[in-house]
Structure formats: structure tokens, C-alpha cells
Structure 1
Amino acid sequence: MGKAILFSEMTPDASFESDFHHWYDTEHIPIRMKCDGFVSGQRYRSDAGPGFLAVYDMTDLSALKTPDYTKIKTQPSEQTRWMLDNVRGFTRYLGNEIHRNTKDAGAIDAPILYAVWFNVPQDRASEFNDWYESEHIPLLMKAQDWRMVRRFRIVDGEPGTWSHLALHYLASIAALQSPEREVARKTAWRDKLAAESWFKGNYSIFERHGDRHIGISAVI
């Protein structure tokens, strides 16, 4: 894991999905893994439809400003140009990690990724972060299959407007129905925050797709 991520979704048409996967696994991710600052990359399949997600771990966001990465972005291959012109459901968000709670080093390769987004007003961010990190996460982590939570401050992205992202790494989707999660969602502190107009999260579930790609900046 690094201290920053690039979170990007794409949805290929069924007519070229096979080519999309070949391109993603043999070109799109591998060339990024050769850039300084890239630690790893993992793909996921959306649980809600035909979309796919890639989460790139980086040492920090300066990885996106290196000469090698700049060349990748400004001089794409013909196949890359075609794919990016023809996929839909595109998202791209950049985030700095602000908190991590994990049970073990292998948690990053959990089979289920549960992404939770919030757009938090600046004057409410301190209490929101305090609640999430000192109460909400510890309660969730009591569930056997809740293996890790990483929180990020979003610094740039499209198409939505979000300020905070939490990535929950789960051993099983059943964790979302666990008694521990029910307790975490029914505390007085959460109820207090949930009564505020901005407290409207966006939730997505993803299943791991393929193996993790390891970058040249990974610490072995």
C-alpha cells in the first residue's frame, strides 16, 4: 500500500469486453507499474452492473507528475486512445490516505471492496473524521470478515463531488449484514450526524478481478 490512490472506473461495451480486459491487463496497468511512485494496482468488477474499477496505490500523488507518467498520458497508444474514446461510466478520483486500520498485511487483497463516499462541509470535517475513526471503524472491525478500512481525502476527481472516501476490505460480502455493522450504524453519534443535510453517503460494492499488479516502488 502507498499513501495515495487513483480510483478509476470504466465500463466497456459487451462487444469489446474481452479486448478491454486484454488491454487493461497487458498494457494499461503494466506501463503504470513501471513508473516511479506506483506501488501496485488492483482491478475489481462492480457488483451493481458491467463496470470495472482499478485502484492504483502510489507513494504519493507526485507519482502522477513524473516524466514517465506524463509521457503515458500525453502519448497514448492507438489502442489506448480507442478504448478511452469508447468506454463509458468513466470516473477518476485522486485521494491522500488520512487513516488506516487493518488486521493483517494481506487485507489489501480481500475479495470484496466496499467504497463509501461523502461530501462533508469543511466546518464539519473534524467531527466527521473523529466519529469515523474513533467510533465507526472500531465497531466495524469487530466483525470477523471486516479486514481493513482505509480513509482518503479526495483532492480531485470527476464526475461526482466528494470530499472523503472510505475503502472497506472485506473477506465476505456477508460482513455487510453482520451484527457488528448493525451496531455501528445505530449509535447516538451516528444518528446525530445523520440528521444533518449533508450526511448522504454513496455506496458501491466491488469484487476483486484478477491478480494484483506490483509496481517498481513497492517495498518487498
Structure 2
Amino acid sequence: MPIDAVLFSEMTPAPDWEERFNSWYDTHHIPLRMTSEGFVGAQRYRSTSDNGYLAIYDMTGVDALSTPQYQEIKGNPSEETAWMLKSVSNFTRYIGHLIGWQTREEVSEEDLLNSRYAYGVLFNVPEDRQAEFDDWYDTDHVPLLLKNEHWLGCRRYRIVDGAPDKVTHLAIHHLADLAALESPERAAARQTEWRDRLSQEPWFKGRYVTFERHGERFDGIASSTK
């Protein structure tokens, strides 16, 4: 089944219980969700700049978060889960539905989902500018980025719910090497006439986060190829 939705969630544990946090995430938090209808898979990442973590949950649709099974999981957390969610800092939770999926020609879905790095870009785009923003990203920006051999692909989501910030768009870029961020191809993508024009608008201020893959990918009961 296709990956038509995503849950993008960040958390930062305190250093003195980081090992406990990872054990909880890997042996309880994600595995429990992988048994719920509509969950295709999940991958964890660790920030390249601090001790923050990211989990990307891939789903067949945002309605995977409305099923009775998931509501039971979310509404009746274990004591450990309740403690973790209360104790972590820098918590984010963004839910989005797929609006774009672009890769280099030789990159498969499996290659993309198992990339070493995930580079997230979050924007809050006014409603009357969203059509042009999407057009720019899909037809101008991403094609130039994909000219770099380490830029494996980009998948984009329209955010339907999230916290703590107001966000309308999430792009998850999958990279084989962080050198892609300093490449001539990225420089060219950031210097086009179209981007220059958009960058003059007051809303064009994205949040940029970079993570390295942490652990193996989890498969959910809806796991399949796109």
C-alpha cells in the first residue's frame, strides 16, 4: 500500500536517561504502533547537531491515527510512556498527507527510506501562496537538487495537524551524504530567479533540521512497496 501520510515527531531526552529513552522507543513505543492498522513503517534518526531524536512514521493515510486500535494505544499509555512524554523536551508532532515524491532515476523506494540522512524543511505558507510554493518546489527547486548524486530524493507533505509551531508544509529530503548540503547543485537551487523572488516575501522563513539514521527500519502491518 502507498505511503500517503507521515507523522514527523521530534523529542530530546536528558543525557542521563538517553539510553533508557532509546530502549523504550525501540522495544515498546514504535513496535506497539507498528501493530496498528495503516502503519507502513518507521525510522528513527538522531540530530547531527545535538542529542535530539526524530521518528518518521509512514502511513497509508492520516486516518491511520483515527482507528480504534491507535486511539486505544495513544489514550492508554504505559507508565513508562507517560513518563517519557512528560519528561522529554523539544517535542514536536506534525501529521501530513503526501503531495510530492521525487527521486533520482536510479533510487528505489527502499533506497530512499533507508537513506543515511534525513533533512527536514518546514514552512508556514499563506493559503494564497501555496499553489506557487508547491509549483516552485516541484518544478524548479527539487529537480536542481537531484542533480547531486548524494541527493536521493524528496517527499513533501501538506500538514493537517501539528504542534508546537504553525506549519503548513514539510519536505523530507533523503541524503546519502551531508556533503550534498554544501554542493554546487544546492547552491544553484538556492540562486534561481524564482527562489529569489519568493525569498523576499515575509513568510519565506523555513525551519531546517538534519538527522542521521539511528537503528534499523521498523515495518508495520501495512508494509509494502509504493
**TM-score class, shorter:** over 0.9
Output the amino acid matched with 1:211. E
The equivalent of 2:117 in structure 1 is 112
Instruction: Give matches, 1:90-129, under 5 Å.
Output: 90-103=91-104, 104-105=107-108, 106-129=111-134
Q: Which residue in the other structure is 1:138 paired with?
A: 143
> Could you tell me which residue of structure 1 aligns to residue 74 of structure 2?
73
Aligned alpha-carbon RMSD (Å): 0.9
Cα distance in 2 between the residues matched to 1:74 and 1:167: 28
Q: Which runs of 5+ in 2 are unaligned?
A: none
Partner of 1:149: 154
Contact 1:107/1:169 (8 A) holds in 2: yes
TM-score w.r.t. the length of structure 2 is 0.95
Give the alignment partner of residue 166 of structure 2, picking from 150, 156, 161. 161
How far apart are 1:96 and its partner, in Å? 0.6
CA distance in 2, matches of 1:197, 1:78: 44
1:34 aligned counterpart, secondary structure: coil
The corresponding residue for 2:180 is 175
The C-alpha deviation readout for 1:81-117, integer Å capped at 9, x for no partner, is 1111111111101011100002322121110111111
Match of 1:25 in 2: 26
In structure 2, the partner of 1:86 is 87
Q: Which runs of 5+ in 1 are unaligned?
A: none
Number of the residue aligned with 2:61: 60
Query: Is the 8 Å Cα contact of residues 29 and 41 (structure 1) preserved in structure 2?
Result: yes
**1:48 CA displacement:** 2.0
Q: Give yes or no for contact 1:46–1:52 (8 Å, CA) kept in 2.
A: yes
The structural deviation recorded for 1:196 is 0.9
State the SS of the aligned residue for 1:190.
Answer: helix
1:39 alignment counterpart: 40
Amino acid at match of 1:16: W
Paired residues, number: 220
1:44-93 deviations in whole A, cap 9, x for unaligned? 00112111010000000110111111111111111111111111111101
Q: Which amino acid aligns with 2:100?
A: H
CA–CA distance in structure 2, aligned partners of residues 56 and 23 of structure 1: 16
Quote the Cα distance in structure 2 between the aligned partners of 1:205 and 1:132: 19
Q: Is contact 1:108-1:148 (8 Å) kept? A: no
Contact 1:41 1:214 in 2 (8 A): yes
How many Å apart are 1:125 and its aligned residue? Answer: 0.7
1:91 counterpart SS class: strand
Query: Which residue pairs with 1:195 in the alignment?
Result: 200
Task: Give the letter for the 2:222 counterpart.
Answer: S
- Aligned sequence identity (%): 53
Residue identity opposite 1:20 in structure 2:
F
1:217 counterpart (201, 204, 222)? 222
SS of residue matched to 2:125: coil
- Taking the aligned partners of 1:68 and 1:90, their CA distance within structure 2 comes to 23
